[in-house]
Amino acid sequence: MIGQVREWIHGARHIAVLTGAGMSAESGVPTFRDAQTGLWAQFDPQQLATEEAFRADPSRVWDWYAFRRGMIAKVEPNAGHRALAAFAQRHPGRMTLITQNVDGLHQRAGSAGVLALHGNIAEDKWLDRPKACCRFETALPGSPPRCARCGSMLRPDVVWFGEMLPVAVLAAAQEAAQTCDLMLVVGTSGVVYPAAGLARTAAGKVVVVNPEPTGLDDAADAVLRGKAAQLLPQLLED
């Protein structure tokens, strides 16, 4: 089956790739819930990752994200991340990389133009609509940093529970799915929508790469049981 998928990849004019938490877990990134260790074990992550929680206790939520950022900074992209980046660099314009992950490992591996559906935990944005005085470079340090003039707060640039995915990013991901010749679905459970819906609307063949069954296996033309770090380098070599 690997040989067949390799043929599909080599023959595809446009490949869309959707990655999820399983791919990052191979690098040692704790899953959303696994990050609840030590001091944070007493908290429900779904009660921290909301705008309401941030407004109620900005310092607690900011410190939790600082803790998660520290954990992610200690890990490195794996062979799967690097294989995707190398393929895209060898074949400009042929691959669109869409990820549900917020850890930035695809970008650190060298992938450009990543469509990060849920944002990037390493980046910040203003909680409220920024005023002319709100500038990152002059924000007062703290938990969280604030505008030196109006006091507006910075927050992690991730999609919290109850928030919509970034419109432009989702639209670009949908277009990639609907125009691709092949979609690789890697390391995702396939149960979180609207991301999972991208595979169900893919115009071309769908290949699932995952060590365990997923919610998208029924939509796949091929299912490869294995880890991304092992299979992607084999699939994407020229």
- Give residue 93's region: left, alpha or beta (phi > 0; psi -120 to 50): left
Residues 6+ apart with CB under 8 A from 34: none
Peptide bond into 58 cis (omega under 30): no
Rounded to whole angstroms, the Cα distance separating 192 from 165 reads: 12
Q: Which of 10, 14, 106, 118 is catalytic?
A: 118
- What the block records as the tokens of 38 is 């030590």
SS (H, E, C) 132-198: CCCCHHHCECCCCCECCCCCCEEEEEECCCCCCCCHHHHHHHHHHHHHCCEEEEECCCCCCCCHHHH
Residue 235 to residue 128: CA distance in whole angstroms: 44
Phi, psi of 69 (to 5 degrees): -60, -40
DSSP 28: T
10 is catalytic: no
Cis bond before residue 194 (omega within 30° of 0) = yes
Distances (CA, A) of 238 to 75, 83, 97, 98, 181: 28, 11, 18, 22, 18
**Residues belonging to the active site:** 118
